[in-house]
């Protein structure tokens, strides 16, 4: 049995995680650091950077493919119409998946500690640690605990001869996964700054061109594109490219973080926008008024827990009981039109549609169920009766 103390570090090869490697040995007394990079759909260059930096640091490095697990969670989010303050959840959903994968590697490799490079001002520290603190391993956050600044880290990297390319990621802080791409920092921190087109990679500036696609659903899950069955990861990647070409899926918001800080965030999320819009349109067709109204409350609570990185909370499990019941009828197709940077539902069909064209039409008198226009006369007399009575009482007593 080895007495070597090992710590598993969430490793990206960027500035924060690069300087964390020697700090975990020098400041925290660990004998060995292993790096774990989890694939949730980042661009290939990010993995190349992580591999190169790990090699330069002589760091034992593991890469875990978790794209399928992440896509599954994203589709759970679709069923819950999950968004936070107006944009689809993305980074928030990825963090628990990444944290679980790192914990698994750490356990397999006999680590006694887990570490991340998150700062003390963001959300990610909370999302990682919500998963990790359920284990017996020590949880370490060097950047937060040592009060490190970006300038200190850059100087530290230069003094120690660390791979400086691992500490120079450009002017913006960018996080990318299958479901979304976030851009923040530099001029974007100013609420009044109008960003240029160069901050976007997934989306083109909207044009007058249009295109229509058809998304199929079963049990509330997206399962097909234009009539062809397609796996979750491929569907997301396909829609990101297709919808992004029409400028679909941009958000520029002032976001309230969990620690109470208000920050300016820019996001790209073409596939998420398409699937959430399509799913919502199908729910509008198949669910009753009361179900739709109540599910908004369910969806809000699911989204809040998702934003917090607490997708495994007992509350979420209970919420999904209601979601599961309603989604049995969320089956059918939705036609989406890309137009002016929007993904607009323009048609929907389902065998569970709570809709009768015959009953709703202005051109029919008698329909199945024996509903006639004149039947509404009694309803019209009672509608507003109490309000009219109350107004008369008030007027009489004010005279």
- The annotation status of 17 as a binding-site residue, yes or no, is yes
Give me the DSSP letters along 51-70.
HHHHHHTT-EEEEEE-HHHH
123 is in an annotated binding site: yes
Both tokens assigned to 274: 């398409």
Q: Is 267 annotated as a binding residue?
A: yes
Q: Is 392 annotated as a binding residue?
A: no
Has 272 been labeled as part of a binding site?
Answer: no
Task: Give, in degrees to the nearest 5, the angle at Cα 40 between 270 and 7.
Answer: 150
- Rounded Cα distance between 347 and 51, Å, is 47
Rg, C-alpha atoms of the chain: 26
95 classed as catalytic: yes
Burial of 80 (0-12, 13-18, 19+ CB in 10 A): buried
Catalytic residue among 173, 186, 224, 280: 173
> Any known ligand binding at 277?
no
**11 marked ligand binding residue:** yes
* Beta carbons of 223 and 230 less than 8 angstroms apart: yes
Using a 10 angstrom Cβ sphere, with 0-12 exposed, 13-18 middle and 19 or more buried, the burial of residue 70 is buried
Tell me whether residue 83 is annotated as binding.
Answer: no
Q: Is 117 annotated as a binding residue?
A: yes
Please tell me whether 13 is known to bind a ligand: yes
Tokens of 237: 């990647």
Indicate which residue of 6, 16, 79, 250 is catalytic. Answer: 16
Half-sphere exposure of 84 (CA within 13 A, CB side): 21
Residue 87 annotated as binding?
A: yes
173: annotated binding-site residue? Answer: yes
Residue 280 marked in a binding site: no
How far apart CA 334 and CA 379 sit, in angstroms, is: 35
Catalytic residue among 79, 95, 181, 264: 95
Q: Is 16 a catalytic residue?
A: yes
Active site residue 173: yes
Catalytic option among 124, 175, 181, 348: 124
Annotated binding-site residue? 28: no
- Residue 3 annotated in ligand binding: no
CB atoms closer than 10 angstroms to residue 144: 16
- The set of long-range contacts for 255-264, using a CB threshold of 8 Å and a minimum separation of 24, is 255/84, 255/85, 255/87, 256/85, 257/121, 257/122, 257/123, 258/123, 258/126, 258/307, 258/308, 259/121, 259/122, 259/123, 261/121, 263/184, 263/189, 264/184, 264/188, 264/189, 264/190, 264/191
Instruction: Answer for the pair 6, 112: CB distance below 8 angstroms, yes or no.
Output: yes
Q: Determine contact, residues 213/228, Cβ cutoff 8 Å.
A: no
Binding site annotation covers 250? Answer: no
Was 14 annotated as part of a binding site? yes
Binding site listing for L-aspartate: 119, 123-124
Binding site listing for L-citrulline: 87, 123, 127, 173, 182, 255, 267
Which residues carry out catalysis?
16, 95, 124, 173
Binding site listing: 10-18, 87, 117, 119, 123-124, 127, 173, 182, 255, 267
Binding site listing for ATP: 10-18, 117
């Amino acid at each position: 049995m080895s007495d070597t103390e090992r710590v598993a570090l969430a490793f990206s090869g960027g500035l924060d995680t690069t300087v964390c490697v020697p700090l975990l040995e020098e400041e925290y007394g660990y004998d060995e650091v292993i790096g774990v990079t989890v694939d949730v759909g980042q661009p290939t260059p990010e993995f190349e950077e992580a591999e190169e930096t790990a090699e330069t640091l002589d760091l034992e490095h593991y890469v875990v493919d978790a794209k399928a697990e992440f896509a599954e969670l994203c589709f759970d989010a679709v069923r819950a119409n999950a968004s936070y303050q107006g944009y689809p959840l993305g980074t928030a959903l990825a963090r628990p998946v990444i944290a679980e994968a790192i914990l698994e590697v750490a356990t397999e490799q006999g680590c006694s500690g887990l570490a991340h490079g998150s700062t003390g001002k963001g959300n990610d520290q909370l999302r990682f640690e919500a998963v990790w603190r359920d284990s017996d391993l020590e949880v370490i956050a060097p950047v937060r605990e040592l009060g490190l600044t970006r300038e200190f880290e850059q100087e530290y990297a230069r003094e120690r001869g660390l791979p400086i390319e691992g500490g120079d990621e450009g002017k913006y802080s960018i996080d990318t996964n299958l479901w979304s791409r976030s851009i923040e920092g530099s001029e974007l921190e100013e609420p009044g700054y109008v960003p240029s087109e160069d901050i976007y990679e997934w989306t083109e500036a909207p044009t007058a061109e249009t295109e229509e696609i058809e998304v199929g659903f079963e049990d509330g899950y997206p399962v097909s594109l234009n009539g062809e069955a397609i796996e979750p990861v491929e569907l997301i990647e396909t829609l990101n490219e297709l919808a992004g070409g029409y400028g679909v899926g941009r958000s520029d918001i002032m976001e309230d973080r969990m620690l109470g800080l208000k920050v300016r965030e820019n996001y790209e999320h073409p596939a998420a926008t398409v699937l959430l819009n399509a799913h919502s349109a199908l729910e509008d067709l198949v669910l009753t008024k009361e179900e739709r109204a109540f599910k908004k409350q369910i969806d809000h609570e699911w989204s809040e827990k998702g934003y917090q990185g607490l997708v495994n909370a007992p509350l979420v499990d209970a919420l999904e009981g209601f979601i599961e019941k309603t989604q049995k009828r969320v089956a059918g197709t939705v036609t989406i039109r890309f137009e002016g940077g929007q993904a607009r539902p323009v048609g929907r069909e389902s065998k569970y549609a709570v809709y009768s064209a015959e009953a709703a039409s202005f051109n029919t008198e008698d329909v199945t169920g024996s509903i006639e226009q004149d039947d509404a006369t009694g309803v019209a007399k009672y509608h507003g009766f109490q309000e009219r009575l109350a107004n008369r009482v008030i007027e009489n007593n004010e005279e």
